[in-house]
Structure 1
Amino acid sequence: MRKGHKRNSSNIFPIKIDQLEKLMISKFENNDDLSFTVFHHQNKNIAVFYIPYQVTPDKVDNLLLKQLLENKTSWNTESILNKMPLSSGKKSDRMENILEDLIKGCVFVYVEDEDEIVSYSMQTIEKRDLSKAETETVVIGPQVAFTESLTTNLNIMRWRIHSTDLVLEKIMVGKRFSREVRLIYVKSIANETDVNTMRQRLQDLEVDELEDINVLIQYIEDSSMTIFPQFYATELPDRTSYAISQGRIGVLMENSPTAIIAPSTFFSFFESTEDLYMRWNTGSFLRILRFIAMFISLTLTPFYVAAVTYHFEIIPTQLLVSLGQSRASVPFPPIFEAIFLELMIELLREAGARLPTKVGQTIGIVGGVVVGTAAVQAGITSNILIIFVTISALASFTVPSYLMGTTIRLLRFPMILLAGMLGLIGMMFGLCFLLIHLLRVTTLGRPYLSPIYPFRMQDINKVLFRLPQAFQGKRFASFMPKDLIRFGKYASKKKDIDE
């Protein structure tokens, strides 16, 4: 990370307009991005300059230039601010402020020999329309997703959380190319220590630029060495607003269609907003199914390798005969066979993600069938292993978080190596190592495995399964919100009309 370069902060005013023009053109390396026009009005020279593609032309012509030139007033800095029918005007006399506002879409008006210059924000914002989420698809519940426009995203958050207690704290990040970041929380609920920690991490960043909020996560997360994601990155406004209402913190960044939710535990990555919208028993079933799928995805292929290589005695006799016939023509040991198929699945997945949508789906399905069938017929692998690898791949896709799903798929490879070298003992060694590692990981300074470690019985029903809504009156105690109570004991008490 580099410290920002020192800028010239001297007062350049008063100045002649021709000198101002030369100075501004030199700041833009003599290119054609700057529109600099000089008008002669009431015996005074007035300069108007801006970057054309950063502003809205109709606003400049109708709201500024028309008023400026048709009015008989003898303009100066104060009269422009007081009489111009625009509300966003401000004065400046520092070059670094002028350049910063210029690239943000401000139009500058300077009356020759005045001590200050006036600017108006007339920024034009290019943005795509609201659409469905691409990586976090949901069947039940709101379908809208965040966009690259920070203004639109803030509007969505205000629309979803109708409270004067909602804080949208502005922080500028990036020394050379600054980006606006918003720290979002409910002041009366969010833990003050978490808010201060996140604010400090954002303010202490000394980087030139940030390409996306996922890059920001890599700077502010607790540990950059762990493979597990520590903050949940979501493109769903309803998930973000729900987390904020529970006492957690959201972070939005300019030009990024993703929000950060912090702190986020290991179990947060297996939760889906659909769990809230479904019946409690259905939501609990699906959540438990995801945990089972995660375990299957991580251990099924390594278990096959360990059993076939070292532990034939644990395989049922009838299945052992079928397995022997399937592997009779395979010249490779199970570990190479498994790694080959896992790599093939990953190649197909990556190719399907990078190719155009319709072609990618075809390649994924047809390629998997053709290559798998050809591999069995050529004697490179057994058909039983193909079944196991396919089940493992399908199980990894049940995780709502793309980052956590990718992590689980990546962890399969060291687990296969351990199983191939040490059998079930190697598998247990790998699982114990993962557990010890997870016990050491933190998220915004809080334990990653909450509420399992440290154990909090009152929070178990919020991560492993769901109880009926009437029993969800308390917030997640492990995050220590200021207000633990969501609703009272009798909030959902039912009465008939004649009672």
Structure 2
Amino acid sequence: MNTEIIRKWFSHTAELIIEDIEERDSHVRVYFLKSMADTKLIYTKILPELRKLSPHPLKIEDVESHLGVPTSQRLAKQQDVINHLLKGSVYIHVNQAPYGLAIPVAAENKRNIARPEIETNVLGPQQAFVEDLDTNIAIIRKYLTSPQLFHEQLWVGESARQEVALLYMEEIVNPENVQTIRQRIQDLQTDGLIDTNMLSQYISDNELSLFPTLLQTERPDRVADGLQNGQVAILIEGSPFVLLGPTALFHFFESPDDYYFRWSLGTFTRLLRMIAMLVSLLLTPLYVAALTFHYEMIPADLLLSLAQSRARVPFPPLFEALMMEIIIELLREAGARLPTKVGQTIGIVGGIVIGQAAVQAGITSNILIIIVAFGALSSFIAPSYVIGSTIRVIRFPVIVLAGILGLMGIMVAMSFLISHLLRITSLGRPYMSPLYPVRLGDWKNTYFRAPYSFLAKRLSIFQSRNPLRYGRKEAHQIHNLDEDE
């Protein structure tokens, strides 16, 4: 490897360190980046060991056998050397050798494994992924101690190359799903990626859609369950989130808690989330449509209360609703961006103070404050933050159509929404499965959480090689201690 080539690649930085060991016929050069490599290990272990060998004419094979590092790699290509230096390896080259030796000695700057911050659970494992790829793969392997867990290494990025890992269960996954993801990543043209959420937008089936078609999660237990069901996991160096695909819309309303609780409570909470999403999407538009066009829909007693509440409000229901929804979104974003303690205070106190002041000033009505707050609360119930944010965005055009056309506007909006959802795919699989196409057998593990003895079959959207998790008959049998006597 030509030293001048390496110097040219890193001419813009002072991080490149080159150590020469020259005695008699031996000429060894050691390259590393001081910001990425463990310099203490290099100067106390690697360099002293090389100097012990230097009085003799050396070959690269002698260095390799003497150091005896099992993780070392032989590198001959220029780009491979650059990539390993950027990842924190030390590169050792002996004069006239056809290749060099790369030893991973990256400095330890990993974040400790902590509890999930977004997808919190009451029961079950309490650990989340971190930004280190190898650590994340090791966590998944602790959940799935199987030789059938395959790991493929890919690279993305032109100027800043990032390592991407594909994980899947070879005996379960549909090879077509793996090939689809692999091909899309290999064909990707971009300078570089920072997070899996960026990667999901590049490789999704419908880039312009508001709905995510790959599930993002920070929970290892959810990834392990997805792999056992036939999904493919996508990890990227530097990201604490993992992508799972193919994915249906209703998977975004599932939580690992559904399987840790008894089936009855799991079913109840899952249905509650789906109802809450409909409430979040339609409650404010229905209020606007009823007050603007359809007074006859409102009971007489409630209509009287509404009239008294809006007596001082100078704005039409459409403007009033949009104004309050925007205020709620401002409070939500402010609470999310500010430091934790201050953000909680802003969210609670700000909502109460602004809401009460708006009512007293006659800007809005008490009932709309309740409706907007109820809708905002319902949007938080989704386990996936991404799908909750999507519902928040869609709510605004629905409100506008409700204010212009009434119930007809809501029906038009829902027709467009359903048509769009029916056209979306995730890795070529129907996004609305098992509602469309209808798969009644999958309903017991999508809209409901049936007892485990009824969940022997994997979901059809995954098109798994082995559709059965276990035998149906054996699952229904209850074995007592005295049965074998």
TM-score range, shorter chain: over 0.9
1:8 maps to none
Of 215, 220, 223 in structure 2, the residue corresponding to residue 232 of structure 1 is 215
Distance between the aligned counterparts of 2:466 and 2:12, measured in 1? 57
The SS at the match of 2:474 is: coil
- Whether 2:136 is the aligned partner of 1:153: answer yes
1:56 positional shift: 1.7
2:457 maps to 474
Distance between the aligned counterparts of 1:263 and 1:459, measured in 2? 15
- Whether 2:351 is the aligned partner of 1:368: answer yes
- Whether 2:392 is the aligned partner of 1:409: answer yes
Of 1, 5, 9 in structure 2, the residue corresponding to residue 27 of structure 1 is 9
Of 40, 43, 60 in structure 1, the residue corresponding to residue 22 of structure 2 is 40
1:43 positional shift: 4.4
1:23 positional shift: 4.5
Distance between the aligned counterparts of 2:12 and 2:215, measured in 1? 44
Equivalent residues in 2 for 1:120-139, closer than 5 Å: 120-139=103-122
Work out whether residues 234 and 244 of structure 2, in 8 Å CA contact, stay in contact via their aligned partners in 1.
yes
Of 204, 224, 230 in structure 1, the residue corresponding to residue 187 of structure 2 is 204
1:356 positional shift: 0.5
Distance between the aligned counterparts of 2:27 and 2:470, measured in 1? 65
1:154 positional shift: 0.4
1:432 positional shift: 1.3
Following superposition, which runs of at least 4 residues in structure 1 exceed 4 angstroms of deviation? Answer: none
Distance between the aligned counterparts of 1:85 and 1:51, measured in 2? 22
- Whether 2:275 is the aligned partner of 1:284: answer no
Q: 1:299-322 CA distances to partner (integer Å, 9 max, x unpaired)? A: 111101111111111111111111
Distance between the aligned counterparts of 2:250 and 2:12, measured in 1? 55
CA RMSD for the aligned pairs? 1.5
Gaps of 5+ in 1: 1-11, 14-19
Distance between the aligned counterparts of 2:400 and 2:12, measured in 1? 59
- Whether 2:359 is the aligned partner of 1:386: answer no
1:491 positional shift: 3.1
Distance between the aligned counterparts of 1:214 and 1:413, measured in 2? 24
Work out whether residues 229 and 462 of structure 2, in 8 Å CA contact, stay in contact via their aligned partners in 1.
no
Distance between the aligned counterparts of 1:317 and 1:141, measured in 2? 49
Work out whether residues 25 and 56 of structure 2, in 8 Å CA contact, stay in contact via their aligned partners in 1.
no
Equivalent residues in 2 for 1:430-469, closer than 5 Å: 430-469=413-452
Distance 1:79 1:497, change over 3 A: closer
The SS at the match of 1:139 is: coil
Distance between the aligned counterparts of 1:240 and 1:91, measured in 2? 34
1:490 maps to 474
- Whether 2:117 is the aligned partner of 1:117: answer no
Distance between the aligned counterparts of 2:372 and 2:335, measured in 1? 18
Q: 1:228-284 CA distances to partner (integer Å, 9 max, x unpaired)? A: 111110001100110110011111110000000101101001001100000001000
Q: 1:441-491 CA distances to partner (integer Å, 9 max, x unpaired)? A: 111101110011000111011110111111111111232111011111213
The SS at the match of 1:464 is: coil
Distance between the aligned counterparts of 1:326 and 1:89, measured in 2? 75
Q: Aligned AA for 1:497? A: L
2:42 maps to 60
Of 406, 424, 440 in structure 1, the residue corresponding to residue 407 of structure 2 is 424
Work out whether residues 212 and 255 of structure 1, in 8 Å CA contact, stay in contact via their aligned partners in 2.
yes
1:429 positional shift: 1.1
Distance between the aligned counterparts of 1:197 and 1:159, measured in 2? 27
2:317 maps to 334
Distance between the aligned counterparts of 1:430 and 1:390, measured in 2? 22
Work out whether residues 223 and 233 of structure 2, in 8 Å CA contact, stay in contact via their aligned partners in 1.
yes
1:42 positional shift: 4.0
Q: 1:80-127 CA distances to partner (integer Å, 9 max, x unpaired)? A: 123333223344343333222221222222333444433322222421
Distance between the aligned counterparts of 1:26 and 1:219, measured in 2? 32
Work out whether residues 456 and 478 of structure 1, in 8 Å CA contact, stay in contact via their aligned partners in 2.
no
The SS at the match of 2:457 is: coil
The SS at the match of 1:119 is: strand
Distance 1:23 1:201, change over 3 A: closer
Identity of aligned residues (%): 44
1:254 maps to 237
1:30 positional shift: 5.5
- Whether 2:241 is the aligned partner of 1:241: answer no
Work out whether residues 93 and 116 of structure 1, in 8 Å CA contact, stay in contact via their aligned partners in 2.
yes
Work out whether residues 288 and 465 of structure 1, in 8 Å CA contact, stay in contact via their aligned partners in 2.
yes
Structure 1, 62-71 or 262-271: larger mean CA deviation: 62-71
1:219 maps to 202
Distance 1:386 1:54, change over 3 A: same
Q: 1:12-41 CA distances to partner (integer Å, 9 max, x unpaired)? A: 56xxxxxx3x54333312532111122233
Q: Aligned AA for 1:46? A: V
Work out whether residues 284 and 321 of structure 2, in 8 Å CA contact, stay in contact via their aligned partners in 1.
yes
Distance between the aligned counterparts of 1:358 and 1:385, measured in 2? 28
Q: Aligned AA for 1:361? A: Q
Distance 1:326 1:90, change over 3 A: closer
Q: Aligned AA for 2:48? A: K
Structure 1, 25-34 or 409-418: larger mean CA deviation: 25-34
